[in-house]
Amino acid sequence: MAIQDIPTSPCEGQKPGTSGLRKKVRVFQQPGYLENFVQSIFDSLDDYAGELLIVGGDGRYYNTAAIQTILRMAAANGFGKVMVGQNGLLSTPAVSCVIRKHQAYGGIILSASHNPAGADGDFGIKYNVANGGPAPEKVTDRIYANTQRISHYRTLAADDIDLSRCGNQTLGGMTVEVIDPVADYAELMEQLFDFERIAALLSRPGFSLRYDAMHAITGPYAREILVGRLGAAADCLLNAVPLEDFGGGHPDPNLTYAHELVEIMGTDDGPDFGAASDGDGDRNMILGRKFFVTPSDSLAILAANAHLVPGYRDGLAGIARSMPTSQAADRVAQQRGIPCYETPTGWKFFGNLLDAGKVSLCGEESFGTGSDHVREKDGLWAVLFWLNLLAVRDKSVEDIVDGHWREFGRNYYSRHDYEGVDATAATALIQGLREKLASLPGQTVHDREITFSDDFSYTDPIDHSVTTQQGVRIGFKDGARIVYRLSGTGTEGATLRVYLERYEPEPDRQHLDAQAALGDLIAIADELAGIRLLTGRDAPTVIT
Ligand code: VG1
Ligand code: CO
């Protein structure tokens, strides 16, 4: 089979964002667009001849077409072997797991996570390194630089691989092994959690659960693990068949987009436990009966109870959270005498801390939790962790959270997203805040004294790389915070995210509605940044 060097020229805008390159499917379908990016990935790597690459995606429209292109290019560029999920499917945490288990050189994940799918939807591609985690910025910077000067890409004139058949096939000089997308991941979950105890919980006559895969990647994983290995009733799974367009939905597990599950959980005789995952399986939402667990609280609660779960029996080395995530986990770390790290948004910043053994659990407010078992956030892992806790503690979700607040205090928390706003206005808003930063401390707004303000900058404690401009933070005397940043995953206009937080130590005052409890901060956030004025929006698009 002939290797072909195809002339090409740079495509605009191939700079990876928070989690890889995300664009409209139509953009990816332009001749050479995907090929340029893939070649730029390969050109940023050293010594991969004969090595193993893992490839898979969330099953959205264009997934298998992109995989066929990538396989041909991997063969032409000299990889020795590619392992690819059957029918092109692999969840993001499963890719991470497979890279680590098979000591691969790296992996390519095709996903735009929860962004809508289909011919008019979004597509995405991301490179993960040998530790199983997203490429760090020094690699993504190299990839971007390559996209700006690319002149050729290398491919093979060859037929498509049959992705439906597990086992080995050859493509030029390369082996392609089509693997069961679930097996390695399910085995890892069995090592971490007490499956016997969870199975016993699930078989209790009074206990019921619902899991919503939102027509995205986790359906087959949930079926094998929850139903197949843990004995849950098959009808506990909702939307468990992955569809190319995610059923026209928006597989973002939050109170807005997972409304079907939220309604089921919201009645007096609703299930005891509810959970959902996102498009690529790395996010999770945890619900009790008529009760929502914020992701920040979930991280803190998993940390406080980790010793009850086999995989974390010996305690945690430390905890890491992204900067905008609430400080609930910090309180657990402090009480346990373990370090807590604050990183920029995006899982790539946790990799070095995990590799160095400095932290065991990580989390983001955006429904992401994970641990050192892989190098991605992991939706089903969080669900199993919660089920393991429920089995051991024999309490309801609400009682566990309530008890946690009583012990550690409650961090009232909310994120307000203004999606699809004019990019120029959004940039002006952030710029306006930056210009004000120096003058804010000492000012009092709505009876709240501002004690600090900055634009978050992070120095990695391991490789000392510096990342700047990661979000404007405004802190108040009682520890309350407002954070503003622009999304790095959207594909249309700009998304402004405003993160609000305040601490409440007093148990009698821990049961307010979060929006009410944060009311004054919400007003201050608008006043300081001029959100309404500059975006023309009266209210956020999504509140979580
Ligand atoms: C968002 C979240 C961030 C998360 C990222 C990828 O990024 O805020 O916490 O790591 O999505 O998650 P941004 O830049 O839009 O705020 V996923 O599940 O889309 O891979
Ligand atoms: Co995701």
Please name the residue whose Cα sits nearest to atom 17 of ligand 1: 113
Question: What ranges in 80-134 are assigned the alpha helix state H?
Answer: 92-101
Q: What is the DSSP string of 196-260?
A: HHHHHHHHSTT--EEEE-TTSTHHHHHIIIIIIIT---GGGEES-S--TTGGGS----STTTTHH
User: Token pair of 110, please?
Assistant: 């095709």
Predicted local confidence at residue 489, as pLDDT:
85
Residue from 15, 18, 113, 430 to probe ligand 1 pocket by mutation (most atoms less than 8 Å from CB): 18
Closest atom of ligand 1 to CA, residue 17: 14
Known catalytic residues?
Answer: 113
Give the nearest ligand 1 atom to 280 CA. Answer: 18
Distance between Cα 488 and ligand 1 center (Å): 7
Asked if 25 contacts 123 with a C-beta cutoff of 8 angstroms, the reply is yes
Strands 81-89 and 52-57: parallel
Residues ≥6 apart with Cβ < 8 Å to 276: 211, 212, 213, 214, 253, 258, 261, 284, 285
Please tell me the distance from the alpha carbon of residue 66 to that of residue 74, in angstroms, as a whole number. 12
Distance in Å, CA 18 to ligand 1 centroid = 6
- pLDDT (0 to 100) of residue 454: 95
Q: How far apart are CA 52 and CA 81, in angstroms?
A: 5
Two tokens, residue 160: 């498509």
8 Å CB contact between 140 and 155: no
Q: How far apart (Å, rounded) are the C-alpha atoms in residues 241 and 39?
A: 33
Burial class (CB in 10 A: 0-12, 13-18, 19+), 395: middle
Per-residue pLDDT, 150? 98
**Ligand approaching nearest to the C-alpha of 122:** 1
CA–centroid distance, 343 to ligand 1, in Å, is 13
Amino acid at 76: A
Residue-level pLDDT at 212:
97
The C-alpha atoms of residue 396 and residue 37 are separated, in whole angstroms, by 48
Tell the residue nearest (CA) to atom 18 of ligand 1. Answer: 113
Distance 179 CA to ligand 2 centre (A): 22
Structure tokens at 163: 């992705």
The CA 229 to ligand 2 mean position distance, Å, reads 24
Return the residue whose CA atom lies nearest to atom 4 of ligand 1. 346
What pLDDT sits at residue 490? 79
Q: Which ligand is nearest to the CA of 18?
A: 1
Helix 379-393 and helix 195-203, axial crossing angle in degrees, nearest 10: 70
Beta-bridge partners for 107: 54, 128
Q: Residues lining ligand 1, CB < 6 A?
A: 18-19, 113-114, 278, 282-283, 322, 345-347, 364, 366, 368, 487-489, 497
Atom of ligand 1 nearest to the CA of 20: 20
Separation CA 377–CA 347 (nearest Å)? 7
Which residue, 390, 463, 435, is CA-closest to 528? 435
- Strand 458-459 with 466-467, pairing: antiparallel
User: Could you tell me the maximum CA-CA distance found in the chain, to the nearest angstrom?
Assistant: 73
Instruction: Return d(Cα 32, Cα 493) in angstroms, integer.
Output: 24
Instruction: Judge contact between 325 and 363, C-beta under 8 A.
Output: yes
Angle at 268 between CA 262 and CA 270, to 5 degrees: 50
The preferred substitution site among 115, 218, 284, 366 for testing ligand 1, maximizing ligand atoms within 8 Å of CB, is 366
Confidence at residue 491, expressed as pLDDT on a 0 to 100 scale: 81
Cα separation, 124 vs 62, whole angstroms = 10
- Specify the pLDDT at position 522: 97
* End-to-end CA, the chain: 52
pLDDT of residue 264: 96
| Ligand 1: nearest atom to the Cα of 365 | 9
DSSP H or E segment with residue 332: helix 328-336
Atom of ligand 1 nearest to the CA of 489: 15
C-beta of residue 316 within 8 angstroms of C-beta of residue 303:
yes
Ligand 2 centroid–CA 379 distance in Å is 9
**Atom 15 of ligand 1: nearest residue by CA position:** 487
Which stretches within 23-166 are classed as H helix?
Answer: 25-28, 33-43, 63-76, 92-101, 137-147
Q: What is the pLDDT of residue 181?
A: 97
Torsion of CA 60, 64, 70, 73, to 10 degrees: -160
Strand, helix or coil at 126? Answer: strand
Q: What is the rounded distance in angstroms from the CA atom of residue 109 to the CA atom of residue 57?
A: 5
How far apart (Å, rounded) are the C-alpha atoms in residues 370 and 94? 12
> What is the crossing angle of helices 379-393 and 183-192, to 10°?
30
The dihedral of CA 335, 338, 342, 347: what is its sign? Answer: negative
For atom 11 of ligand 1, the residue with the nearest CA is: 489
Q: pTM for this one? A: 0.94
Residue 91 CB-density burial (10 A; 0-12 exposed, 13-18 middle, 19+ buried): buried
Distance, CA of 73 to CA of 57 (rounded, Å): 17
Distances 203 to 74, 100, 227, 231, 233 between C-alpha atoms, Å: 47, 33, 11, 7, 9
Walking along the chain (544 residues) 10 residues at a time, the average pLDDT comes out as 93 92 96 98 97 97 98 98 98 98 98 94 97 95 97 96 97 97 98 98 95 96 98 95 92 93 95 97 97 96 98 97 98 97 95 97 97 98 98 96 97 96 95 95 94 96 94 96 93 92 96 96 95 93 92
Residue 466 — φ and ψ, nearest 5°?
-115, 135
| Among candidate residues 116, 124, 367, the one with its CA nearest the CA of residue 243 | 116
